Structure 1
Amino acid sequence: MASETKSTAERLGYAADARVLIINADDFGMCHDQNEGVIRGLQEGVFTSSTILVTCPWFEEAAEFARNNPNADLGVHLTLTAEWDSYKWGPVLGRRAVPSLVDERGYLWQTVAQVYEHARLDQAEAELREQIEKAFAAGIDATHLDSHMGTLQLRADYHEIYTRLANDYRLPLRLASRRGMSTDGMGGILEQLDAFGVVTPDHLVFNGPPAVRETESYWTNLLRTLKPGVTEILCHPALARDELKSCARDAHQREADFRYFTSDKTRKLIADEGVEMIGFRQLRDLMRRDSSSPSRSGRG
């Protein structure tokens, strides 16, 4: 297909040298301090999308925001881990339905390695589908899917589930570098994504500043050196108050990222650089417009 030789930005109608940017706020729904950072980031900052942790106790606050802001660009942050030491959550399906996904206390595994060691693929897929369905049932018009802690992107058998969900629900995905995936033995996954017509950004920035004090210099340099095509930047904007500091080891970095991406200085930098800002909704529209088959979910 001709589209295979074009970047996603070109397929969206941008010039070949255009720099197009999605800034995604991960972990919406984790806790109130996280939710307030995400909501303010979407309303006052340069964030153009967010993804929701359906498994978390503060999911309902995120869902209420989605219902009250139907044009917000919100996806599902597919989750098989509960990474914090003292703040936990379990599967949507419950521990008895998916026993391989939980530890002895009924919480999702803390690390990706533990998921790979213990989880059954059929139970993982069932849980992830239920997370998407829960989002729909709460009135969230999901624009995209991505993977909490990268669990679905780091091993081919999990990436196959990720790809299948994108195809079944006709939703775009967060994707790592295609070149990197090819060298990591995931060329078959790329072929499957293309065969399904799954739309993804061209580039992904998943590492953040090495230290809080380097936040401004790190992100500023990155924004000035964006490559042509659609780039997704992910971070976790939040307010580092007592709630967040009690559970998240990176609470101060989360607030530093929030401050950076809600500043007038950053907005001006993006404009001065001529970077075009979009959300995942445009990628979803492209994917569904180019698809020969309707969404199996019957939504959107």
Structure 2
Amino acid sequence: MKTLIVNADDFGLCEGVNAAILDAYATGSLSSTTLLVNGNSAAAAAQLARQHPGLGVGLHFNLTLGRPSADPQEIGSLLLPGGEFPARGALARRLMLGRVSSAQLTAEFDAQLAAFSRLGLVPSHIDSHQHVHAFPQVFDVLAQVCAERSLPLRQPWVARPSGAHPRLGRALRTGLLACMNARNQRRWQGRLRSNEAFTSVFDLGAMPSRLDASHYRTLLGAAQAFPCELMVHLSRRPDDVAGLTRIGDVSHAEWQCLSEGVLAGVIAEQGWQLRSYRDAFDEGKC
């Protein structure tokens, strides 16, 4: 089955993101989201999720923004001296130098799952903020728990749609991501439920000044495996996420397309079956 999961990251980040995600869900452009349990508006997001039970809600595992869910004194290898998570680059260096404890990663993952449960929700799947779970050490920790609990885990596959010309820095990052994905697949093949393809507007290369249906046609038209996940980021205004993420303009542009039904039109036009991670594996390849 030509199955598509449209997942909005960062549910709970702030009120503007929460509202934008519900706007997109109302137009039939979105089926899934993932919740930051330490986000400023996590409790409000959970309340919205309970009011919209058809929306799949997973855990957006986070190691690079804000404060942890576990006791900071027990997970020092993951934190800055002030008790906050480091930026992604600093985390990557620690992981590559072997300075992160797998036991502490497990403790933080368990704590975020527990926080998710306290919000009154059951996760539909797991992914991560800024794809930090693609790093093999992190992936192994999450994959072990996901395999034991039959929780789907996002694979952030690298897409290369026709005509895309990424800048050098982006190309180098996606090359590293592709290598890590290949390793993770080899190690965990047959033991996890995951999306078989993945894309987002970042695969377009240089971001256009305004998104429209043609951009989503390009991204989705290139998908050759299913289920495919289209990752989106949404905010009603660019400055809603100021100080929290650097992609405010992108998330606002995506919100405009999804809230106006532009993506829903492309989904119907291309014959996709829109699903969440809760039911994406009912038919077809798992």
TM-score by length of 2: 0.81
Following superposition, the deviation at residue 278 of structure 1 comes to: 1.1
Identity among equivalent positions (%) equals 21
Moved more, 275-284 or 187-196: 187-196
Contact 2:16 2:240 in 1 (8 A): yes
**1:235 partnered with 2:212:** no
Match of 1:92 in 2: 69
**Compared with structure 1, are the counterparts of its residues 211 and 241 closer, same or farther at alpha carbon in structure 2 (3 Å cutoff)?**
closer
| C-alpha contact 1:112 1:149 (8 A) present in aligned 2 | no
- Amino acid corresponding to residue 215 of structure 1 in structure 2: L
Q: Structure 1 residue 181: deviation in Å?
A: 9.6
Cα deviation per residue 1:199-258 (whole Å; 9 max; x = unaligned)? 111101145253251422422322333324221010211111644235432212101001
Q: Work out the number of aligned pairs and report it.
A: 263
- Could you report, residue by residue, the CA deviation over 1:53-80 in whole angstroms, capped at 9, with x for unpaired residues? 1122211111111222333200000111
TM-score, with structure 1 as normaliser: 0.78
Uncovered stretches (5+) of structure 2, i.e. residues with no partner:
160-174
Equivalent pair of 1:212/1:253 in contact (CA under 8 Å) = no
**Counterpart for residue 255 of structure 1:** 252
* Pair 1:203–1:126, CA change in 2 (3 A): same
**Cα 1:121/1:115, change in 2 over 3 Å:** farther
Which amino acid in 1 is paired with 2:227? Answer: V
Q: Report the CA distance between 1:39 and its aligned residue.
A: 1.8
Tell me by how many angstroms 1:125 deviates: 1.4
| Residues 5 and 31, structure 2, Cα contact 8 Å, conserved in 1 | yes
1:20 aligns with 2:3: yes
- Cα distance in 2 for partners of 1:46, 1:136 equals 27
**Match for residue 215 of structure 1?**
211
Work out the CA distance in 1 between the residues paired with 2:243 and 2:190. 45
Whole-Å Cα distance in 2 between the matches of residues 225 and 195 of structure 1? Answer: 25
- Partner Cα separation in structure 2 for residue 73 and residue 25 of structure 1: 10
Q: Please, which runs of 5 or more residues in structure 1 have no aligned partner?
A: 1-13, 83-88, 291-300
1:249 corresponds to which letter in structure 2? R
The aligned residue for residue 64 of structure 1 is: 47
Q: Which moved more, 1:107-116 or 1:23-32?
A: 107-116
Which residue number corresponds to residue 111 of structure 1?
A: 88
Aligned to 2:197: 203
Task: Give 3-state SS (helix, strand or coil) of 1:21's partner.
Answer: strand
Q: Could you say if the C-alpha distance between residues 183 and 39 of structure 1 is closer, same or farther in structure 2, counting changes exceeding 3 Å?
A: closer
1-structure distance, mates of 2:200, 2:10: 14
